[in-house]
Amino acid sequence: MKKIFIILPLFLSGFLFSQKKPQKKSAHKAAIPVKLNYHDEFRKISDEIMTNGHAYENLGELTKGIGPRFSATPGYTKAVEWAEKKLKEIGIEMIWRQEAKVPVWIRGKESLQIKTGNGDWKNIRMLSFGNSQGTGGKDLTGEIVLINSTSELNAMSVGQLKDKIVFVNVPLDPKIINTNDSYLLAAKSKLISASVIATTGAKALIIRSLTTANDDTPHAKMIYYEADDKVKIPALSIGVRSADELEKILKKQKVTAKINMTAESKGETTNPNIIAEIQGKKDSKVIVLGAQLDSWDFAEGAHDDGTGVVQCIEVLRAFKALGITNNHTIRVVLYANSENGGQGRDMYASYVKKKDEKHVFALGTDSGGYSPRGFSLDMSPQRRRQVFEWKNFFLPYGIYDFDQTNAIQDIAPLKKLDIPLAELVVDTQRYFDYHHSVEDSFDKVNKRELLLGAVAMTQLIFMIDKNW
């Protein structure tokens, strides 16, 4: 069991813990704190990463060398080994695994076909929702019913959707400039809940992909069945062009769909979070950086979240390369099972609570490797004001947005422990073009933008370490 220490106010701790044998004071040993020139420190960090940064090359290895790294697959195991190797290469000695239970879900074969009247079946590109029930490899056939709003769903009479296949064609709202906000608004809609749709008696759910792209690439979505669901219907997504075409056809005539999915769940196994740290020279308080190590089973996961993984590693590399003496422990957590369960982040939060570890700050990065614009701050007003006071140091690096307050999902469980949270804010206008699709590949990432994100993260961690 970890010993419990009483944390005294700073003016007391400085007195009580320095009660040693009195020594003759000398001018050169006076305990005068060194005043840092933060503009110079920021420039050193930027110069080091922009000149010598490894993040882009590391991302290439992770995405092209390993590829998809879905939970409970050999790809994830390879990613774990790769991450440990990279951390050792930059001189990190404290590296360990933290096992978390993860679901075993196998996509298998999947297909969607539609036809009108006595016409021929037409294949439509599709993706099963993550953790979705399948059709047992059998054809599930039914008439498609279009629903575009919750009011339409609520207006349906009992039996109107029984044995039908519900198609929801709701695009991301283009009027919302912050694409994260438009995505979250759509993702929370009960229209894309298989549990809600199942209560109507419907057989299956088809949704328009949650994307800003104007192509026919389907984007994955995670499914959540409720514990008391009597029937767990299959759910899938289609590309926006197919969705718009299907809606046009449905306004003119009846359309029949045929779905065949062999997707199935096979219990649980364990996958590890990877944890690495540079221990603090002053105390054992923790500053943690988090990113998800897993990706979808069909995707390289470059922006989601390979960029976050390599940026976190780059922060540790920069601290080591610059010989920065960190007061607190700087820790990186690469989370397991973010895409289809979130067990890794929950496990880490439970660990922190159980160990009663003092965390000063948590920073997440899961919005892609685009140009950094600022940090979303989910913390007390006092802490926010302190960060605001540093804005002028960040402005030369294009970092100006400190007004947002949403924390990303992988560090979100730490909020219950009263830990100040922040997320790297980037220009996300292209992020949802590729998010959760086969298009999320290494070639979509710009090296300079990726490194600039790592610069901003390192600069913020440096300021937190020196001032909190």
- Give the tens place of pLDDT for each residue, 264-276: 999 999 999 999 9
3-state secondary structure of 340: coil
End of a domain among 262, 281, 303? Answer: 262
Verify that 293 and 428 share a domain, yes or no.
yes
Query: How many alpha carbons lie under 13 Å from residue 80 in its C-beta half-sphere?
Result: 21
Give the Cα separation of 375 and 382 in Å (integer): 16
Quote the domain boundaries for residue 443: 38-104+267-467
Q: What is the pLDDT of residue 33?
A: 53
Verify that 333 and 410 share a domain, yes or no.
yes
Q: Does residue 28 carry a pLDDT above 60?
A: no
Verify that 276 and 378 share a domain, yes or no.
yes
Please, where are the H alpha helices in 342-422?
343-355, 381-388, 391-394
End of a domain among 212, 238, 262? Answer: 262
> Looking at the whole model, is its pTM more than 0.75?
yes
Verify that 121 and 178 share a domain, yes or no.
yes
Verify that 307 and 386 share a domain, yes or no.
yes
Verify that 442 and 301 share a domain, yes or no.
yes
Q: Is the peptide bond before 305 cis (omega within 30 degrees of 0)?
A: yes
Say which CATH number the domain at 316 has: 3.40.630.10
Q: Read off the pLDDT of residues 298-321 as tens digits, 9 standing for 90 and up.
A: 999 999 999 999 999 999 999 999
Q: Does residue 31 carry a pLDDT above 50?
A: no
Verify that 358 and 452 share a domain, yes or no.
yes
The long-range contacts involving 76-82, CB below 8 angstroms and separated by at least 24 positions, are: 76/271, 76/293, 76/294, 76/336, 79/293, 79/294, 80/271, 80/272, 80/274, 80/293
Q: Read off the pLDDT of residues 34-69 as tens digits, 9 standing for 90 and up.
A: 688 999 999 999 999 999 999 999 999 999 999 999
With cut-offs at 50, 70 and 90, classify the pLDDT of residue 15. very low
DSSP states along 106-138: E---EEEEEEETT---EEE-EEEPBT----TTS
Q: What is the pLDDT of residue 8?
A: 36
Phi/psi for 365 (5° steps) reads -145, 110
Give the Cα separation of 189 and 168 in Å (integer): 11
Q: Is 149 or 236 the better-scoring residue by pLDDT?
A: 236
In a domain, 51, yes or no: yes
3-state secondary structure of 264: strand
Reference 112, options 213, 222, 263, 223; nearest CA is 263
In a domain, 310, yes or no: yes
Handedness of CA 23, 26, 29, 33 (dihedral sign): positive
